[in-house]
């Protein structure tokens, strides 16, 4: 089974974030809409300290909600069919988006979400899927590799400010989305991973602001990180010289460092992928490199922890999910994560989870493979960081 990255439909015109999306007239309308919906919702807990009721329910600001609505409105409204609450009142477009976002952010069952809104579980399922399809069509521009030198230069500069790594373009890491599958189903064995869980894996490359820049998902959780990366389109582009092939960084006269990403020991050491030194009795230069390398990798751990904390549908154990739809749900959660990063500035970082362990119970699997050019690149970096070049 190969990686799946959302719908295969032709992408439509992209809608970029617009500061005017939160104009006063729209905001006033959203307040009226939310006032009515919040009175109808059942079982809402009191918001956490510092959060208003809206954000405690949907995990995003009203400004972000309005922007998301503007992204998906055309596609969702174009589909036939109408939906009503249990009292017979029709759902507005905002109601429909709210139901989908609540399902994705709370991780609660279709029945629980339906009960809280006064809807049948099938309605919650249909609305969630309509929203997912619309986000695939309209939101993909929020998850892409930097397309300009200026954008990549800014990313490199921000990475260097973390722990001094020059010319670094991203951090790669994987996490598991666990599932509950019937043991009687022969196909369930395919999804059984090394920790005896049924799971699907997500591989992400993250920038210094914890924004996802490239993802691959859809593979069974038992696949090793290096095999998933090896088969990825990102790696194939690197091999062909079409990615991580930008401006080099001069560390000393006649010595340069190319663009690269960093990852843990689950990946091979390549000319464009730098991993830490392995071993206990390491020389001081290697120890110092590993410390800087580890501190820089934290941005990926934080991003994945935040992804699962905010979009809880992929945090816990999913009950018998459709394995063809799950990769698309994961993709949309990553898009929503990036939209929050893009629109809510530093506000969302105040709600970061206390733990960055996004994959509890999973032990590190070591690759051990290396390329000679990768060895040379890591040595240059080590020497440069200790001021010996």
Q: DSSP of 271-288, one letter per residue? A: TTEE-----SS--HHHHH
pLDDT band, residue 311 (cuts 50/70/90):
very high
- 273 compared with 357, residue with greater pLDDT: 273
Beta strand 260-262 with 168-180: parallel, antiparallel or unpaired? Answer: parallel
pLDDT band, residue 27 (cuts 50/70/90):
very low
Question: 110: which residues sit within 8 A by CB, 6+ positions away?
Answer: 103, 121, 122, 124, 125
Res 30: pLDDT:
54
pTM for this structure? 0.89
- 346 compared with 23, residue with greater pLDDT: 346
Question: 177: which residues sit within 8 A by CB, 6+ positions away?
Answer: 199, 200, 201, 202, 217, 221, 314, 318, 326, 330
Instruction: Tell me the mean pLDDT in the region 70-79.
Output: 94
Among the residue ranges 217-226, 278-287, 310-319, 348-357, the one predicted with the least confidence is 348-357
pLDDT band, residue 10 (cuts 50/70/90):
very low
Query: How far is C-alpha 289 from the geometric centre of its chain's CA atoms?
Result: 27
Instruction: Tell me the mean pLDDT in the region 91-111.
Output: 94
Res 18: pLDDT:
55
Measured CA distances, 199 to 34, 41, 109, 189, 317 (Å): 36, 33, 18, 10, 9
Q: pLDDT for 202-251, tens place per residue?
A: 999 999 999 999 999 999 999 999 999 999 999 999 999 999 999 999 98
Q: What is the DSSP string of 96-107?
A: HHHHHHHHHHH-
Tell me which DSSP letter residue 91 carries: P
Tell me which DSSP letter residue 211 carries: -
Q: pLDDT for 38-73, tens place per residue?
A: 777 765 555 554 457 888 888 899 999 999 999 999
pLDDT band, residue 15 (cuts 50/70/90):
low
Q: pLDDT for 126-170, tens place per residue?
A: 999 999 999 999 999 999 999 999 999 999 999 999 999 999 999
Distance CA(36)–CA(44), nearest Å, equals 14
Helix, strand or coil, per DSSP, at residue 212: strand
pLDDT band, residue 321 (cuts 50/70/90):
confident
Query: How far is C-alpha 253 from the geometric centre of its chain's CA atoms?
Result: 39
Share of the chain above pLDDT 70, in %: 86
What is the number of other CB atoms lying within 10 angstroms of the CB of residue 180? Answer: 14
Strand intervals (E) in 181-211: 198-206
Helix, strand or coil, per DSSP, at residue 60: coil
Mean pLDDT (the chain) is 87
């Amino acid at each position: 089974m190969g990686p799946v990255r959302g719908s295969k439909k032709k992408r439509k015109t992209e809608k970029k974030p617009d500061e005017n999306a939160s104009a006063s007239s729209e905001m006033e309308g959203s307040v009226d809409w939310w006032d009515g919906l919040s009175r109808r919702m059942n079982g809402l807990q009191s918001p956490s300290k510092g959060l208003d009721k809206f954000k405690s329910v949907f995990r995003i600001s009203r400004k972000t909600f309005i922007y998301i609505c503007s992204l998906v409105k055309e596609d969702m409204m174009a589909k036939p069919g109408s939906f009503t609450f249990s009292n017979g009142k029709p759902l507005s477009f905002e109601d429909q988006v709210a139901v989908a976002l609540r399902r994705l952010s709370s991780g609660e069952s279709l029945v629980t979400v339906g009960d809280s809104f006064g809807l049948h579980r099938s309605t919650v399922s249909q609305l969630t899927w309509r929203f997912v399809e619309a986000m695939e069509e309209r939101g993909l521009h929020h998850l892409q590799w930097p397309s300009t030198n200026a954008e990549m230069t800014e990313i490199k500069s921000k990475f260097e400010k973390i722990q001094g790594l020059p010319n670094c373009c991203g951090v790669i890491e994987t996490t598991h989305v666990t599932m509950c599958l019937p043991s009687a189903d022969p196909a369930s064995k395919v999804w059984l991973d090394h920790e005896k869980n049924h799971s699907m894996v997500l591989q992400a490359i993250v920038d210094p602001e914890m924004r996802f820049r490239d993802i691959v998902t859809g593979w069974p959780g038992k696949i090793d990180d290096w095999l998933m990366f090896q088969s990825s389109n990102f790696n194939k582009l690197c091999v062909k010289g079409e990615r991580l092939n930008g401006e080099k960084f001069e560390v000393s006269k006649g010595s340069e460092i190319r663009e690269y990403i960093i990852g843990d020991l689950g990946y091979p050491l390549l000319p464009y992928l730098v991993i830490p030194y392995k071993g206990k009795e390491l020389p001081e230069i290697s120890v110092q490199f590993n410390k800087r390398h580890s501190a820089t990798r934290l941005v990926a751990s934080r991003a994945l922890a935040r992804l699962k904390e905010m979009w809880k549908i992929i945090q816990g154990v999913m009950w018998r999910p459709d394995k063809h739809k799950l990769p698309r749900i994961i993709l949309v959660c990553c898009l929503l994560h990036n939209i929050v990063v893009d629109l809510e500035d530093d506000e969302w970082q105040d709600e970061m989870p206390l733990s960055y362990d996004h994959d509890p119970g999973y032990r590190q699997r070591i690759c051990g493979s290396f390329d000679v050019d990768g060895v040379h690149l890591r040595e240059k970096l080590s020497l440069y960081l200790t001021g010996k070049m």
